Structure 1
Amino acid sequence: MKTTIAKVGQFVDQEVTIGAWLAGKRSSGKIAFLQLRDGTGFIQGVVVKAEVGDDIFQQAKNVTQESSLYVTGVVRAEERAPSGFELTVTKVEVLHVAVDYPITPKEHGTEFLMDHRHLWLRSKRQHAVMKIRNEIIRATYEFFNDNDFVKVDPPILTGSAPEGTSELFATKYFDEDAYLSQSGQLYMEAAAMALGRVFSFGPTFRAEKSKTRRHLIEFWMIEPEMAFVEFEENLEIQEQFVSYIVQSVLKNCALELKTLGRDTSKLENIKAPFPRITYDDAITFLQEKGFGDISWGDDFGAPHETAIAEHYDKPVFITKYPTSLKPFYMQPDESREEVVLCADLIAPEGYGEIIGGSQRIHDDHLLKQRIEEHKLSQDAYQWYLDLRKYGSVPHSGFGLGLERTVAWISGVEHVRETIPFPRLLNRLYP
């Protein structure tokens, strides 16, 4: 019976065949232990010389790291094994012998591992991170589908920028200027006016020359937009969504979290509602905590966000930032027009902002005024103004950065480990 490592539990005490790679091995006299992986998981194969004969035993003992194999054996329940099972090997068929595999069990530097990212992905740690990333993606689709959102795909090549062009990659679109998208938001607003509640899930690009552990040049964003949804309801949907994906990972990726050494008690508490703090209160809090150099009107950096987040055991919303700090499309607070109806969601444990969202301006005159104030081309944004001209309604949305969210939930230090092939300031290879 041919199967996968993830499904061996269905075949206890039965003989199965698994197509696998050798992740590692060790031998002790007349027993060889093969650490096998097949993409679905990891399992130990035990080869006993007295049971398989000298030929198979020598073959198993001599096979090299990352060689590909068909391994046949009997599935045994083994409570000491991470997966709960191991394989008593009866046959080994070598498909391809790997010679001098570069990533050995010894310590390797970050740059070496990044140069070999195409191979580093095979490691148990990277496998666990990618499985958690996949579960977050699966749960995202499930959450939005269950809540009657429609998936819409905005363009990646755009003729204008939602937040200005200073951090965009420019290119030529035949005889016009074009940019790689930094957000699908404006297009999602158009989709929301047609379909009510929508979400996109795709790559975005920021030409920001940053080297911090939170930044990538190319990353993936989940961007819902919702017609007839105002500020408070927008926050409620965000906290429900984040709670849902965290609990889904806890439920479906227990082995991966254990592999990464993640303290799951910190995740078990992540359930809505989340605390809220205004920008004003955040400034006061930071000043009281010794950040004497910050004052009203300043933006928050990583140390500020971390200090605020450490005060809570759940993600925390920082709401109602000054208008001057935020993009042109955000709805001002009617009772206080120097701030906008926006919020950043800051993850615990120093992982920073994972969501930015706001209620959007729905008045065409105010939006036109904001476009002028930001010195943007009215012609380029005419289609966006049309949304306020023909049946405008209050509406809201947000964007969640997938890689920062994966880093926080999985507990890894740097976002470079949360995407299969990271694009960093000085890295375009492999």
Structure 2
Amino acid sequence: MKTTINQVSKYLDQEVTIGAWLANKRSSGKIAFLQLRDGTGFIQGVIAKADVPEEIFTTAKSLTQESSLYVTGTIVKDTRSPFGYEMQVKKIEVIHEAKDYPITPKEHGTEFLMDHRHLWLRSKKQHAIMKIRNQIIQATYQFFAKEGFMKIDPPILTGSAAEGTTELFHTQYFEEEAYLSQSGQLYMEAAAMALGKVFSFGPTFRAEKSKTRRHLIEFWMIEPEMAFTTHEESLEVQEQYVQYIVESVLQNCQLELNTLGRSVEKLEKIKAPFPRITYDKAIELLREKGFNDIKWGEDFGAPHETAIAESFEKPVFITHYPKDIKAFYMKPDPERDDVVLCADLIAPEGYGEIIGGSARIDDLSLMEQRYIEHNLAGDAYKWYLELRKYGSVPHAGFGLGLERTVAWICGVEHVRETIPFPRLLNRLYP
């Protein structure tokens, strides 16, 4: 019976064949331990010299790291293994012998590992991160389907920018100039006016010359948009969504969290509702923590967000930012026109902002005024203005950055490990 590692529990005390790679091995004179992986998981294969023909044991001892194999043996329980099972190997068929595999069990530098990202993905830690990323993606589709959202795909090539063109990649679109999208939000607003509740899930690009552990040049965003929805209602969707994906990982990825050494107790505390503080209160909190030079009207950087997060065990919403440091489309607070109805969700443990959202301006005259203030006049934004001209309604939305969220849930330090092939300021290879 041919199977995969993640299915071996169905074949207890039965003989099966698995196509696998040799991740590592150790051996003594009479027994060899093979660490096998097949993409679905990792299992130890044990081969005793006394139980197999001599040529099989000789083959096992001579196997090289990352050689590909068909391994046949009996599945047994193993309480010492985090996986819970091992294989008593009876037969090995070598498919391809790998020679001089560059990533050995010793320590390697980050640049070396990034140069070999195509191979580094095979390691147990990177495998665990990708499994958790995949679970978050699955949970995202499940949550928004459950809540009645429709998946919509905005364009990646655009003729305009959601928040200005200074950090965009320019490209030539035949006779016109175009940009790689930094957000699908404007198009999602149009979709919401047609379909009610929608979300997108796709790649976005920022030509931001940043080298911090929180930044990628290419990353994935989940961007829901909701018609007939207030800012407060949007915040409730956000916290329910984050709680849902954390719970999904806790339910389905215990082995991977253990592999990463992630504190499950901290994740179990992520339950809605989340605490909320205004930008004004955040300024006060920062000054209490020694950031005496922070002035009202300045945006928060990574040290500020980390300091604020230290006061909470759950993600925290910072609401009502000054209008002048936020995007043109954000709706002013009706009781105070120098701040907008927006919120950033700051993850615990120093992982920074994972969600940015707001109520959107729905008044045509106010949006026309914003166009003038932000020099957005012209045909490129005409269609967006028309959303306020033909049946405008209150609406709100947000964007969650997948890689920062994966980094936080996994407890890994740098977002470069949370995407299969990261694009960084000085990295376009592999």
Q: How many correspondences in the alignment?
A: 430
Amino acid at match of 1:93: E
How far off is 1:375 after superposition? Answer: 1.1
Report matched runs for 1:59-208 at 5 Å: 59-208=59-208
Matches for 1:243-282 after TM superposition, within 5 Å: 243-282=243-282
* Cα separation, 2, equivalents of 1:193 and 1:122: 44
1:295, CA displacement in angstroms?
1.2
Q: How far 1:377 sits from its partner (Å)?
A: 2.9
After the TM superposition, which of the residue ranges 400-409 and 365-374 deviates more from structure 2?
Answer: 365-374
Query: Which residues of 2 match residues 217-366 of structure 1 at below 5 A?
Result: 217-366=217-366
User: How far apart, CA to CA, are the structure 2 residues paired with 1:101 and 1:262?
Assistant: 29
Match of residue 372 from structure 1: 372
CA distance in 2, matches of 1:37, 1:172: 44
Tell me the distance in 2 between the aligned counterparts of 1:377 and 1:411: 44
Question: C-alpha separation between the residues in 2 aligned to 1:80 and 1:46?
Answer: 13
- Take 2:77 and 2:405, find their aligned partners in 1: how far apart are those partners? 35
Q: Helix, strand or coil for the counterpart of 1:380?
A: helix
TM-score by length of 2: 1.00
In structure 1, give the amino acid aligned to 2:202: G
The match for 1:428 is 428
Cα distance, 1:378 vs structure 2: 3.3
Match of 1:211 in 2: 211
Runs (4 or more) in structure 1 with deviation over 4 Å come to none
Q: CA shift at 1:289, angstroms?
A: 1.1
Taking the aligned partners of 2:378 and 2:30, their CA distance within structure 1 comes to 78
Cα displacement string for residues 368-419 of structure 1 (whole angstroms, at most 9, x for unaligned residues): 1101101123321110011111100000000000000000000000000000
Aligned residue for 1:381, secondary structure, equals: helix
- Deviation readout 1:298-332 (Å, 9 max, x if unpaired): 11000100000000000000000000010000000
User: Could you say what the CA RMSD is over the residues aligned between the two structures, in angstroms?
Assistant: 0.5
Q: What CA distance in whole angstroms lies between the structure 2 residues aligned with 1:284 and 1:119?
A: 48
1:135 match: secondary structure:
helix
CA deviations 1:133-189 (Å, max 9, x no partner) are: 000000000000011100000000000001000000001100101000000000000
Amino acid in structure 1 at the alignment position of 2:103: I
SS at match of 2:379: coil
Residues 371 and 378 in structure 1, CA contact (< 8 A), matched pair in contact too: no
Tell me if the contact between 1:372 and 1:378 (Cα under 8 Å) persists in the aligned partners. Answer: no
Code of the aligned partner of 2:100? D
- Structure 2: how far apart are the matches of 1:340 and 1:379? 26
Q: Distance in 2 between matches of 1:242 and 1:319?
A: 17
Once residues 208 and 264 of structure 2 are traced to their aligned partners in structure 1, the CA distance between those partners, rounded to angstroms, is 33
How many angstroms apart in 1 are the aligned matches of 2:117 and 2:289? Answer: 41
| Partners of 1:139 and 1:173 in 2: CA distance | 36
Q: Distance in 2 between matches of 1:219 and 1:334?
A: 34
8 A contact 1:47–1:88 mirrored in 2:
yes
Provide the secondary structure at the position in 1 that maps to 2:89.
Answer: strand
Which residue of 2 is the match for residue 41 of structure 1?
41
Q: Deviation of residue 28 (structure 1)?
A: 1.5
DSSP 3-state at the match of 2:307:
helix
How far apart are the structure 2 equivalents of 1:413 and 1:264? Answer: 17
In 2, Cα distance between equivalents of 1:374 and 1:293:
28
Deviations 1:14-64 (A, max 9, x none): 000000000000002110000000000000000001001210000011010
Structure 2: which 5+ residue stretches go unaligned? none
- The separation in 2 between residues aligned to 1:368 and 1:66, in whole angstroms, is 61
CA distance in 2, matches of 1:81, 1:7: 16
1:13 counterpart residue number: 13
State the percentage of identical aligned residues.
77
Deviation, 1:191, is 0.3
Q: Say if 1:156 and 1:204, in contact at 8 Å, map to a contact too.
A: yes
**1:391 match:** 391
The letter for the 2-side match of 1:303 is: P
Structure 2 residue identity aligned to 1:365? S
- Residues 281-301 of structure 1, C-alpha deviations (whole Å, 9 max, x = no match): 000111111101101101100
Secondary structure of 2:380's partner?
coil
| 2: CA distance, partners of 1:322 / 1:423 | 32
The unaligned stretches of length 5 or more in structure 1 are none
Q: Secondary structure at the match of 2:222?
A: strand
TM-superposed deviation, 1:354? 0.1
Return the alpha-carbon distance in structure 1 between the equivalents of residues 27 and 284 of structure 2: 62
For normalisation by structure 1, the TM-score amounts to 1.00
Query: Aligned partners of 1:69 and 1:61: how far apart in 2?
Result: 14
3-state SS of paired residue (1:6): helix
- Distance in 1, matches of 2:338 and 2:93, equals 71
1:69-100 Cα offsets, whole Å, 9 max, x none, are: 00000000111111100000000000000000
How far apart, CA to CA, are the structure 2 residues paired with 1:92 and 1:82?
A: 24
Tell me the distance in 1 between the aligned counterparts of 2:378 and 2:389: 14
